[in-house]
A and B are shown apart, each in its own frame.
Chain A
Amino acid sequence: MRRGLVLQVALVAALAAIVGFLAWNTAHNLESRRIASGFAFLWREAGFEIGERTLFAYSAADSYFRALAVGLANTFRVAAIGILLATVLGTLLGLARLAPNWLLAKLASAYVEVMRNVPLLVQLFFWYAIISEVLPGPREALNPLPGVFLSNRGIAFPLPGSSPELSGFNFTGGASLSPEFAALLVGLVTYTAAFIAEIVRAGILSVPRGQFEAAESLGLGRRDAMRQVILPQALRMIVPPLTSQYLNLTKNSSLAVAIGYPDLVSIANTTINQTGQAIEGIAIIMAVYLTISLSISAFMNWYNRGVALKGLRR
């Protein structure tokens, strides 16, 4: 046991020494390069515009703090909508992979293979290129459904009481998604759905065959058996990896910086470039994502305790 104690003291001392050394270097470097430190910059005027705003009003005259809040709101916006759509698409694909129809099952598994083996960043660039290069200008916008317009300015769609109309070079009225948001959303949803499909499929396959047969012998049809017998049991297997996919989608939304959607990371990046305060900027990004991750895993642990089989509870 004494050896263990010595090892631990040595480890902690070594880590403290490394951290101290790095901190000393950093303080020295900041001083010699005349970079300010501390979070006072948050209250200074940001001086840059943000193309998309949700929840907050914002103008270039507002503070960095407000700019970062807009970025965070944008992250949440794309993550929330993305999670919702990816769950729906992923579940459908997962069920399709198990469908008795050969063509449907093969098509779904081909989709999963392709999506999982191509980097998300390449897919995001691809969707952005599709929207900005292939789609026509607003005047010749594609109109696949009444009131919905696809153009290189993004997607315009109607809301109750107002529908988009072409005026000048863009659409007014209704609601619209910018090309950046649309590309990011489509990319995140189609990519994450492939992983969710695998989770749903594995979850359903984990339910013992006897359960299918028992449901069948009770006279339940395929749909009822699925809904009332199989899925409730499969969910127990599905939920933990599903939450980690939700977390992945949220973290992956940080790739927005590569296609110019103003999420938290991309606003923090602009802030770093303008103020030179890299340490504070990166600390903000990490603190926000860590908070999200830790709260989601806390929620997951709570949920797991709720759905775990009573007999297996330790």
Chain B
Amino acid sequence: MSTAASWLRRNLFSSWASALATLTILYLAWALLPPFLEWALVKAIWWAQDSKACRDLQGAGACWAFITEKHRFIIFGTYPYEQHWRPGVASALLIALWCVSVLRTFWRWWLSLVWVAGLALIAMLMWGGVLGLTYVENERWGGLILTLLLATFGSAFAFPLAVLLALGRRSRLPAVRAVCVGYIELVRGVPLISLLFMASVMLPLFLPEGLTIDKLLRAQIALILFAAAYLAEVVRGGLQAVSHHQYEAAEALGLGYWKRTLFVILPQALRYAIAPLVNTFIGLFKDTSLVVIIGLFDLLTSLKVSLQEPAWTGFGVEAYLFAAAVYFLFCWAMSVYSQGLERDLARDGAPRLLRGA
């Protein structure tokens, strides 16, 4: 009992200012929480065939029925309705691949084979055309799986490009350095939306006549080019954290530039950079939402399209709270993971790092 009292005293009422803050927060919670909970839970409508019941409430309760009624369209977009199990399984598979990959026990060379097999399976499920699955062109892909695919392929292709850019930025060759610095600063200096516009309206002009790249791939290229510049700066930070003794030792062993970089410097640099790398991946995941502006059918677009249906206009608050919850779940999981990993790697210290996880 006395420990609780002393905890309260120390943490909530240590001074007049602190006591005032505590009381203000408690008052605000008392004033704001009950009406919010009443709106979000008590008076909310969870199931309804149409929006009439929701409209009768006149905003007194949340209309979650919008989400439950339209959930198939929100999650799967314009994918053929009776085939929804395919993007469903593909999404689950992709998430499972990510979950496996974050565990350090599985950081082995064969993990890349697992990814290749997994992605091939996902491609087969999504496109179909084999094993009796009907063919679905990628203009009809949409919803959550599109967000996940854009983020996955975005990071998978941006990362090697970023490593090359970071190495180039620290190169002794002036032309290589100038090209890399120019690229990184150019891309980091402009908003992502301008690159997406470029991909959607300008890229077709760049290509020889007769050759077209579909919209999804163009947006994916823009995301990769954008993410690579940011990742490159993170990798550069890791490269700078590697002690110059390591460079000298590798050189003294007579290793050439690529051997030195691949076997001595990069393995250490990437470990240093792992936590900020995950943060940049979180940024990329959030940034995929921008494709709504150029009309690709991701999770956010399918919500917006659902809201344009006359029956369901005016439930934007519920729709965007739902979108926020979905994005939060993914990003928060990644950020918790990165914090844990950072702690792990810091505790392990150098000798363990060299032995390999």
Residues of chain A having any CB pair with chain B under 8 Å: 4, 7-9, 11-12, 15, 22, 25-26, 28-30, 32, 99-104, 107, 113-114, 116-123, 125-126, 128-130, 132-134, 251-252, 254-255, 257-258, 265, 269, 272, 278-279, 281-282, 285-286, 289-290, 293-294
| A122 partner residues in chain B, CB cutoff 8 A | 289, 300, 320, 323-324, 327
Asked if B59 is at the interface of the complex by the 8 Å CB criterion, the answer is yes
| A286 partner residues in chain B, CB cutoff 8 A | 186, 189-190, 194
Size of the B side of the interface (Cβ < 8 Å), in residues, is: 58
Residues of chain B having any CB pair with chain A under 8 Å: 11-12, 14-15, 18, 21-22, 25-26, 59, 172-176, 179, 185-186, 188-194, 197-198, 201-202, 204-209, 282, 286-287, 289-290, 292-293, 300, 304, 314-317, 319-321, 323-324, 327-328, 331-332, 335
Q: How far is the CB of B333 from chain A (nearest CB, A)?
A: 9
Closest 7 CB pairs of A and B: A129-B316, A293-B189, A102-B11, A117-B331, A8-B175, A126-B320, A119-B286
The answer for the CA separation of A7 and B174 in the assembled complex, in Å, is 11
Given the interface contacts A7-B173, A28-B209, does A251 sit within 8 Å of B190 by beta carbon? yes
Does the CB pair B22–A101 fall under 8 Å? yes
A278 touches which of B14, B191, B201, B317 (Cβ 8 Å): B201
Does the CB pair A99–B207 fall under 8 Å? no
| B197 partner residues in chain A, CB cutoff 8 A | 269, 272, 278, 281-282, 285
Q: Is the interface of A mostly helix, strand, loop or mixed?
A: helix
The answer for the CA separation of A22 and B191 in the assembled complex, in Å, is 23
Q: Is the interface of B mostly helix, strand, loop or mixed?
A: helix
The answer for the CA separation of A4 and B324 in the assembled complex, in Å, is 50
| B14 partner residues in chain A, CB cutoff 8 A | 100-101
Does the CB pair B12–A255 fall under 8 Å? no
Please name 23 pairs of A and B residues whose Cβ atoms are closer than 8 Å in the assembled complex, sorted by A. Answer: A8-B174, A11-B175, A11-B179, A25-B205, A28-B208, A29-B207, A99-B21, A103-B26, A104-B18, A119-B286, A119-B327, A121-B293, A122-B327, A125-B320, A132-B316, A257-B193, A258-B292, A269-B197, A278-B202, A282-B197, A286-B186, A286-B194, A289-B191
Does the CB pair B205–A102 fall under 8 Å? no
B25 touches which of A26, A103, A128, A285 (Cβ 8 Å): A103
| B194 partner residues in chain A, CB cutoff 8 A | 254, 265, 282, 285-286, 289
| A28 partner residues in chain B, CB cutoff 8 A | 208-209
Given the interface contacts A121-B300, A126-B317, does A4 sit within 8 Å of B173 by beta carbon? yes
Does the CB pair A265–B193 fall under 8 Å? yes
Does the CB pair B206–A289 fall under 8 Å? no
Which residue on A lies nearest to B197, using beta carbons? A282
The answer for the CA separation of A107 and B28 in the assembled complex, in Å, is 12
Does the CB pair A100–B11 fall under 8 Å? yes
| A269 partner residues in chain B, CB cutoff 8 A | 197
Does the CB pair A118–B317 fall under 8 Å? no
A29 touches which of B175, B209, B286, B335 (Cβ 8 Å): B209
Does the CB pair A255–B193 fall under 8 Å? yes
Does the CB pair B11–A133 fall under 8 Å? no
| B21 partner residues in chain A, CB cutoff 8 A | 99, 101, 103-104
| A102 partner residues in chain B, CB cutoff 8 A | 11-12
The answer for the CA separation of A125 and B328 in the assembled complex, in Å, is 15
The answer for the CA separation of A247 and B94 in the assembled complex, in Å, is 34
Given the interface contacts A22-B206, A130-B317, A279-B205, does A117 sit within 8 Å of B190 by beta carbon? no
| B328 partner residues in chain A, CB cutoff 8 A | 114, 117-118
Does the CB pair B209–A104 fall under 8 Å? no
Of B194, B198, B289, the most chain A CB neighbours within 10 A belong to B194
